[in-house]
Structures are given as structure tokens and as C-alpha cells.
Amino acid sequence: MARAALPLFVAHLALAVVGFEPARRPFVFLTVMVFAFLFYWRAARRLETVAAAPAILIVAALLRSVLLPLPPTLSDDTLRYVWDGKVVRAGFNPYLLAPEAPELEPLRDDLWQKMPHRQVPTVYPPLAIACFSVASLLPRPLLGVKILLVFAEMLGCWLLIRLARRLGLPAGRAIWYCWNPLVCLEVAGMGHVDALLMTAMVATVLLLVAKTPSRRRRASATLAGAAAAAGVLSKLVPLVALPMWARQSRRPAVFLAAALVATALAMLPVAVSVGGMPPGLLTYGLSWEFNGPLYEPLWRSLDAVELDDAIKSGFDGLKGLTGHHDFWNRFYPFVYPRLLAKLLLAGMFGVFVLLSLRARHPVSGTGALMGALVLCAATVYPWYLLWVLPWAALARHRAWLALSALLPLSYLPQLTGVELFPWVYLAIWGPFFLLLTVSRWDRWTTD
């Protein structure tokens, strides 16, 4: 096993070297990623049926440890994490006050100078903020937050191995996630809070598939609901899975009560303090967009056919028919191709959520639903794949595993200035959709 994992470890060491300044050698960085994925693919195929859980976890820890010293060269999220933690410790509300707020001027430091989007209040839920606050107490907060997230994610790796065994799969099936170079880079190297989300989701699904005696199902559903709430309070993504998970829990009322009560207790003070939805979340939903697989071509198509002009012409006709000019005028600012595309995709994803209620197995259902969420999103950063990869690993889903090797190409616009659309976009999503077609969308079985 050591012989099979050694080339992958060497590739991660090389990645740790070039990752300090990837903008100076972007193609060297991507070449190292290619070799890392080749070694990962070879090791996973060879060891899937023979690897023992302790060895899998030791190698996973080593792969992450060599990437921990990397500065935030590919993503600046950790800068914001530490800032939000610092703001909370100083007694201010990060949901209400953006980093550029005058009230926070005494807290400004070098970290603040490097941080983008200083005009936007935080978008992170309370459990994530609590993690950031702990990290901000440490002597080296940027490294501290990554260490905390790696520890949390290593717990998730252990739970994923347990889940594989619960499903009757070899422990080595988890290698497809635990040793994935993109996962290691985004969690240990760049330090993304999605690591907390991954662990909470795997814990939820593990509890849902447990063979629990009837007398203990209420307690099991309560624990699963609490784990789901932890996921929501790390990043809001699991909200969309709550109806499906509740149906699969065999005690849906108990599951939803535990999940929603825990979430409400944490989120209600936030909503009260800002008078509703946190403004940072609203800004993210309306303004953020990058590399959306369906969104990018959709909004351009809507723009080409001038759908927005047709809708505005319809409003003009309605104003003439009803005489209520002021009423219809309020809708004009919202009629533009990008927002129309987001609304259409939101409706499409709503259909996926309804269809997920028919999913019988939590692993396949969660994989399909998280995959649909990524496909319908207007923003898809490489680390968003952590929502899908645990389930893709258990199912050995070729399309999603291949996407983890393709998504590092999305760093090219940042590193070289080249436009994302159309060629980088096509290099990422073209092979993925081809593989998805070949392997079929519903290939989420774990046989």
C-alpha cells in the first residue's frame, strides 16, 4: 500500500511547492495537478478492495499535512473567515456590518487590506462563524482555521469509511474521496468551510442508513436531524435535502423537528438582528456568478433571443390594459437575462427537490440532489464539489470524479487573465457532460 500511495504523496509535495505562487507558474501548477490525479486514480483502483481503514486515514492525514502551510493563493475565503471571527470576538455583528463599516475601523489590519468584497456582510451561518471565532484566538489564525477544518474533515473521512462498511462496501471505496487531490487542496491548502458541511452531511446519512431497532428510531432520527442542522449551520446547502432526509428517516416529524428547531434557535437571533434575511446572502444570490454549468450558456441564450425585451413589452401591454403603471414599473429592474436565468434554474432545481422525495436510499438520493444543485448553481467554485464527492466516491461515479480533475482549470482566469467562457468553460464541462451522458444521470448506485 505504501508503494502505491508514495507517488501521490510526492505529487502533493510538489503541489505544496508550486502552490505558494501558482500565478507565476500556472501551467506548472496545473501539470502537477494532472500528475497528482493520475497517481490518485491508479492508487484508488489498486487499493479499493484491500486498503484498511487506519491506513486510509493515515495517508489522508499526510496528504493534507503537506498542504497546510500553503497561503491563500487560489482563494481568499480564509481571510474572510478570520476577519468574521475577529469581528464577533470584538462584540460586533458580522451579519449587519460589512468589513468596510466605520464601526470596524479599529479592527483593520493587513488581513483587512488584502480582503476583497469588503462592502458585503458575512454570508456564513452561525456554526461556521463559531469555528472562525475559535481560529481567530490562535497565534496564527489563517493556519489555525485550516487546522480546525482539516480535523473536522478527517472526522468526515472516518465517518465515510464507516458508511462504506455499513453499505457492505470495502473501506477502500472511501479512498476516492479521502485521497482526492482537489479535496486535499481545497480543505488543507485553501481552507474552505465546506469541510464542516461534508462531515455533517456524511454523519446525517450514516445515521439514516443505520439498522436501528424500532424502540430506538426516535432517538436515531433526532440525532440525524441534529447532524443535518449542523450542516445547515455550517453552510446552508443541506436545507434542500431536509425533506428527502426526513422521508428516509422513518420518523419524518421527529427528524424535521430536531433539524428545524436547532437551526431556528441559531438563525433566529441573526434574522432579528438584521431585520430579515442577512444582506450578505441576498447580495450573493443576486450578484455572484462564476462557472455555472447550465447558467453560463442559459443567460447568454436568453440575451441572444432578447427575452427580457419581450417580457418588458408584455409589461407595457399590461400597463395599457390595467392602467396600473406604477405597479408594473416596479418589475422592470428585475427583468434582465442573468436574473431570468437564475429564476429558471431555481425552478428547475425545485423540481429536483420534489423528485428527491422519491429517492429510497440516502446515499444515492443525496448524491443526485447535490449534483443537481451544482448543475443548477450560478456559481460553481472548485471546492463546491465537496458537496458531491463523498457520494460520488461511494458510487464510483465516473463523471463527478472526473470533474474533480477538471475543475482546477477554472483557476486559469484568475492565474492568467484568460476569459472563462467559452474555451475554459468547455474544457471543464464538455468532458463532464459527455461522461454524464455515457454513465447516465441516475448512476448513483453503490454496487
Kindly report the average pLDDT of the chain as a whole number.
93
What integer pLDDT is reported at residue 440 of this predicted model?
62
Mean of pLDDT values over 387-404: 96
Q: Give the DSSP letter of residue 331.
A: T
Instruction: Output Rg (C-alpha) for the chain, integer angstroms.
Output: 22
Cβ within 8 Å of residue 280, ≥6 positions away: 95, 98, 120, 121, 122, 123
Cβ within 8 Å of residue 168, ≥6 positions away: none
Contact of 135 with 141, CB cutoff 8 Å:
yes
pLDDT at 162 over 60: yes
pLDDT in tens, 98-117: 999 999 999 998 888 999 89
In the chain, the amino acid numbered 1 is: M
User: Would you list the DSSP string of 352-389?
Assistant: HHHHHTT--SHHHHHHHHHHHHHHH-SB--GGGGGGTH
pLDDT in tens, 182-195: 999 999 999 999 99
pLDDT grade for 210, boundaries at 50, 70 and 90:
confident
What integer pLDDT is reported at residue 447 of this predicted model?
62
- Which is higher by pLDDT, 23 or 243? 243
pTM of the model: 0.95
3 state SS of 170: coil
pLDDT at 168 over 60: yes
pLDDT at 444 over 80: no
- Which is higher by pLDDT, 72 or 426? 426
Q: Is 291 left (phi over 0), alpha (psi -120 to 50) or beta?
A: left
pLDDT in tens, 104-156: 999 998 888 999 899 999 999 999 999 999 999 999 999 999 999 999 999 99
Mean of pLDDT values over 313-336: 82
Cβ within 8 Å of residue 390, ≥6 positions away: 156, 160, 177, 198, 201, 202
Mean of pLDDT values over 10-33: 93
How buried is 279 (Cβ within 10 angstroms: 0-12 exposed, 13-18 middle, 19+ buried)?
middle
pLDDT at 264 over 90: yes
- Percentage of the chain beyond pLDDT 70 is 98
Mean of pLDDT values over 406-432: 96
Contact of 233 with 127, CB cutoff 8 Å:
yes
pLDDT at 158 over 60: yes
pLDDT at 201 over 80: yes
d(CA 312, CA 328): 9
pLDDT in tens, 296-308: 999 999 999 999 8
